[in-house]
Amino acid sequence: MSFMRQKASLAGAEVFNVRKCPSVTKCMYLAPKGQHLTECNDGLVPGRAVAAAGARTVRIVCISDTHNEHEGLQLPEGDILIHAGDCLTETGQRGYVIRKHGRIQEVKDEGIAVFQYFADWFGAQKFPNKVLIAGNHDLVLQGLGRVRVQQILDNSTTHGRCFYLEHDEVNIGGVRIFGSPFGHWGGKNDAFFSKNIDYTDVPLGIHVMVTHMPFILPAEVGGQDEDLRMTGALHRTGAVLHISGHCHWAHGLYQSRGSGGTSIPCVVASVCGSHMYGGPWKNNKAHLLASAQGARGDPLDRSFGGYNLDQPPIVCDIEIPALDVEHSPAQGISATQSIRSEASPEDDKEGKPAMLFFGPQNDPDFLRKALPRAREWFDVDFVDETDDGIQAVGERFYVACVAKLGSKGNTSYPIIDALRKSQGAKPFVAIHSATAAANPAIRDRLVKDLSVNLFVSQGQEDDLFDALEHLATR
């Protein structure tokens, strides 16, 4: 499908042609422990500085607020691409979602199409790992829900891996990233609205914190206004970088100084400018809209207005503890290799795909029957405690997870939840449970919450083995 026809299909409307403008090819660069941004033309970012002893350098490319105009970005190379929200231009008036009493009841096909347009681009960016959170314009993502958004990203990814975060964490090769879309907004752009967000629940030990809402903004009379409650939570975690967006006009770098003399760089990475053109409430200045492709990424910008892409991405080199001996402190990490310690689920010496098997000791007959069969096709990591399962998920990719439902205090729910949050919808998940098999309400909840693929009970193990053999041989 041609670019113009693809855009026409986004919202079932005619293509909104606008004047062409140059792509954004420059970027801003922050060196490790740097205090200022340096402008880099044509994506020519300086080489990595030698990391301190016992550390490694990770290059993170930061963007936010692309508002359907992502096609105009030419990104420099890096280890991780992070998008801090507002990938869409949904304003609450475009009709991409249906609300009732303030709650999203349905996402229309047109809304899914505009997100699919972004997901195809994001999934094709040549980074080993990419992270997305939503912003206040992303009502479509809120309506779709975390699992469905991750499924769309997984199905659209042609290079590396994509991770979608909704107030949770992903561990990418030892780089711990926490992302949250929630904030206290004004106006009709109110996706992921929360009056009480304070980030006191962010876990300790993360390296990068990503929120759509900035924690520091320029003050009206010089200096900066800092939300100490928010930056206090940031310092508590031990993070070395904060990435945000939302306030287009505040694009740039700010430093949060801690009581112990620490300084955490906080970047506002909005790549669209602060002027919204077009729409009846903006004196219909749609003629000022521009696009690198000559057509708007959201055709409804003709009626409702949109932003122009005119600010550079921000490239941050950060130092974190070394992952292993394969990545020496002086070399950092190659931009062309995955920085997860297990880059593929097919990594055992026989080339078998990896499976996580959770089997508490309350059903030894199932373990005796199922484990040997599973090991015929998979490199199996067996755990019988919830905490061990969660830890395993943080250390390795899996193509499948087989789990007993478990009993109070030692259940599979947190393990599968962690698996979905960190590895998305791709891993096949099967639960062996007489309780779940006999209770439609339990099955429905587990499918909704965890996207469980198969339920089996005693006597139905052949169904499980058939599914696993098909998965492994496929």
Which residues form the domain of 390? 354-473
**Does the residue 401 lie in any domain?**
yes
Helix axes 386-393, 413-423, angle to 10 degrees: 10
Residues 289 and 377 both lie in one domain? no
Residues in Cβ contact with 418 at an 8 Å cutoff, skipping those fewer than 6 apart? 389, 390, 393, 394
**Does the residue 341 lie in any domain?**
no
Q: Which residues are 384's β-sheet partners?
A: none
Look up tokens 């304003």; give the residue: 91
Residues 303 and 376 both lie in one domain? no
Residues 405 and 275 both lie in one domain? no
Residues 299 and 360 both lie in one domain? no
- φ/ψ of residue 343, rounded to 5: -75, -15
Residue 462 sits in a domain of what CATH number?
3.40.50.2300
Contact 37, 313 (CB under 8 A): no
Torsion of the alpha carbons at 317, 319, 321 and 323, rounded to the nearest 10:
20
The pLDDT of residue 296 is 94
Give the closest residue to 432 by CA, choosing from 456, 415, 463, 468. 456
Count up the domains in the chain and report the number. Answer: 2
Given 300, 321, 342, which residue is the final one in a domain? 321
**Does the residue 134 lie in any domain?**
yes
Residues 162 and 121 both lie in one domain? yes
The pLDDT of residue 327 is 32
Alpha-carbon span 253 to 187, nearest angstrom: 26
Residue 366, CA distances (Å) to 131, 195, 261, 358, 433 in order: 38, 48, 56, 11, 10
Residues 274 and 394 both lie in one domain? no
Alpha-carbon span 202 to 391, nearest angstrom: 18
Given 321, 343, 376, which residue is the final one in a domain? 321
Residues 204 and 283 both lie in one domain? yes
Residues 307 and 373 both lie in one domain? no
- φ/ψ of residue 368, rounded to 5: -65, -35
**Does the residue 469 lie in any domain?**
yes
**Does the residue 1 lie in any domain?**
no
Residues 296 and 436 both lie in one domain? no
The pLDDT of residue 329 is 30
Helices (H), 132-189: 139-144, 146-156
The pLDDT of residue 124 is 96
Contact 464, 369 (CB under 8 A): no
Alpha-carbon span 171 to 185, nearest angstrom: 29
Alpha-carbon span 68 to 90, nearest angstrom: 10
**Does the residue 329 lie in any domain?**
no
In DSSP notation, 294-324 reads SB-SSTTHHHH-EEEE-S--EEEEEEEE---
Residues 314 and 375 both lie in one domain? no
Contact 164, 173 (CB under 8 A): no
Give the closest residue to 107 by CA, choosing from 138, 86, 151. 138
Residues 51 and 181 both lie in one domain? yes
Residue 185 sits in a domain of what CATH number?
3.60.21.10
Contact 72, 334 (CB under 8 A): no
**Does the residue 237 lie in any domain?**
yes
The pLDDT of residue 335 is 30
**Does the residue 408 lie in any domain?**
yes
Through-space distance between the first and last CA atoms of the chain, rounded to whole angstroms: 29
Given 321, 344, 377, which residue is the final one in a domain? 321
Residues 161 and 309 both lie in one domain? yes
Contact 91, 84 (CB under 8 A): no
- pLDDT digits (tens), the chain, 474 positions: 334 435 445 555 678 999 999 999 999 999 998 999 999 998 889 998 888 888 899 999 999 999 999 999 999 999 999 999 999 998 778 889 998 877 888 999 999 999 999 999 999 999 999 999 999 999 999 999 988 999 999 999 999 999 999 998 999 988 999 999 999 887 788 899 988 888 888 989 999 999 999 999 998 777 899 998 899 999 999 999 999 999 999 999 999 998 777 899 999 999 999 998 887 655 668 889 999 999 999 999 988 889 999 999 999 999 998 754 333 333 333 332 233 333 344 444 457 889 999 988 777 778 888 888 898 899 999 988 898 899 888 888 899 999 998 887 888 999 999 998 888 888 999 999 988 888 888 888 898 889 999 999 888 888 899 889 888 876
> What predicted TM-score, i.e. pTM, was given to this entire model?
0.71
Counts for the chain of helices (H) and strands (E), in that order? 12, 28
Q: Name the strand (E) or helix (H) holding 229.
A: helix 228-237
